[in-house]
Amino acid sequence: MAEKTKSDKCPSLLHGKYELGRMLGHGTFAKVYHARNLQTGKSVAMKVVCKEKVIKVGMMDQIKREIAVMKMVKHPNIVELHEVMASKSKIYLAMELVRGGELFSKLAKGRLKEDSARLYFQQLVSVVDFCHSRGVYHRDLKPENLLLYGDCSLKVTDFGLSAFSEHLKQDGLLHTTCGTPAYVAPEVIGKKGYDGAKADIWSCGVILYVLLAGFLPFQDDNLVSMYKKIYRGDFKCPPWFSPEARRLITKLLDPNPNTRITISKVMDSTWFKKSIPKTIKTKEELEFEAFSGEKSSKPETLNAFHIISLSEGLDLSPLFEEKEELRFATTKPASSVISRLEEVAKSMKFSFKKSESSVRLQGQECGRKGKLAIAADIFALTPSFLVVEIKKDHGDTLEYNEFCSKELRPALKDIVWTSPA
């Protein structure tokens, strides 16, 4: 949640764990406080929802939906939900505290340069693509729901109006009209059913236009007149838009959802992929670069349960289920295991670092949750019997599972030990 300047203070102790401080902001049904976790000392944004008010207006499902979505979509550019608590009269959401304010406040000072706009847009599209891959549609994307932190980094928030794929009707479409008028797609206004993914893409187009122009593409004092402009896709790009940006926005703001550009084609467009000088490295990239190749400090021991699980060796099928950690035994030397993993890294153009008992692989391309990073640690149960533990260090679990299934399984199959029985 964004931190706003409010002097209202309401110090109290919540569940013996959080110390509530000043109010950061408030709405009709909820107030947001600065809070400190007494166990860790870390600051959070505590959203306090009044049960009576939300039940009275029938918004309890919306609150439940927001909680469910935030638990499901874990992404570096999505505000993190740490914990949910409740009392008889209140619901408490301990959320990540984002101190940079809303992107809307930054736009109030004027339009952004194209490189800055692209950087924000790339992060937004990454989040939208990730949510859509999980069957989640935001449906209320706008600069007020995009929070800033660090240097040009973005956090998407407010999933209260989002929808799941299971909310689709028999025609495969959503039918609830929602969102902010200036950012809502024409098919949503039409009330004939709409594709949540395509509606989100339209909103992304409006946001990109606002980032580059400093004003909305569809404006009118009369709401009906504004809706007519949205229906027709009646907008003009200012002369300072580059030809590439103009082409992309025209495809994003196509009033026909059937011909509107898809998220994959947005990410593949020349304007979107244009490189920007990278001044800040991610935490994961810094950790990968810091891996010196020295022997792992992790003790080379496994508990009895780990050893028992290997009593029949390993047929890689259960190993490559939707898990973020896998383990196999081998009678091959550590150097053979490392060489095999290095071959996989080279074939996939992954960065590779190694020591006598550890290996780190990191992809060069950013996936839905950043660059995929994989760690492998080798443990010697006896001089001739090793256990290899592989886990996802960073990135998207689905992408990791696919990598394991298509690359690691074939590469490791012939060195995995199986019981003679």
- 196: Cβ–Cβ under 8 A, 6 or more apart, which residues? 132, 137, 139, 163, 165, 174
Catalytic member of 8, 115, 129, 140: 140
Q: Which two tokens stand for residue 236?
A: 């003009």
Q: Which two tokens stand for residue 65?
A: 């939906």
Question: Does residue 338 contact residue 354 with C-beta atoms inside 8 Å?
Answer: yes
What stretches of 73-155 show up as alpha helix (H) in DSSP? 103-107, 114-133
Was 51 annotated as part of a binding site? yes
Q: At 154, phi and psi to the nearest 5?
A: -125, 145
What stretches of 45-195 show up as alpha helix (H) in DSSP? 51-56, 60-72, 103-107, 114-133, 186-189
DSSP character for 405?
A: I
Question: Does residue 92 contact residue 14 with C-beta atoms inside 8 Å?
Answer: yes
DSSP character for 69?
A: H
| Catalytic-residue membership of 140 | yes
First to last CA, the chain: 57
List, in sequence order, every residue forming a beta bridge with 143; answer none if it has no partner.
Answer: none
Closest among 356, 352, 353, 350 to 335, alpha carbons compared: 356
Q: Which two tokens stand for residue 362?
A: 């990191």
List, in sequence order, every residue forming a beta bridge with 44; answer none if it has no partner.
Answer: 35, 96
Q: How deeply is 85 buried, as exposed, middle or buried, from its count of CB atoms within 10 A (0-12, 13-18, 19+)? A: middle
- 267: Cβ–Cβ under 8 A, 6 or more apart, which residues? 125, 129, 273
Residue type, 326: L
Rounded alpha-carbon distances, angstroms, from residue 328 to 158, 336, 414: 42, 14, 12
Q: At 381, phi and psi to the nearest 5?
A: -75, -40
CA distance 234 to 229: 5
Which sign does the torsion angle of CA 190, 195, 196, 198 carry?
negative
Q: Which two tokens stand for residue 290?
A: 């810091």
Closest among 238, 145, 138, 282 to 197, alpha carbons compared: 138
Known binding-site positions for ATP:
51
Known binding-site positions:
51
* Catalytic residue positions, numbered: 140
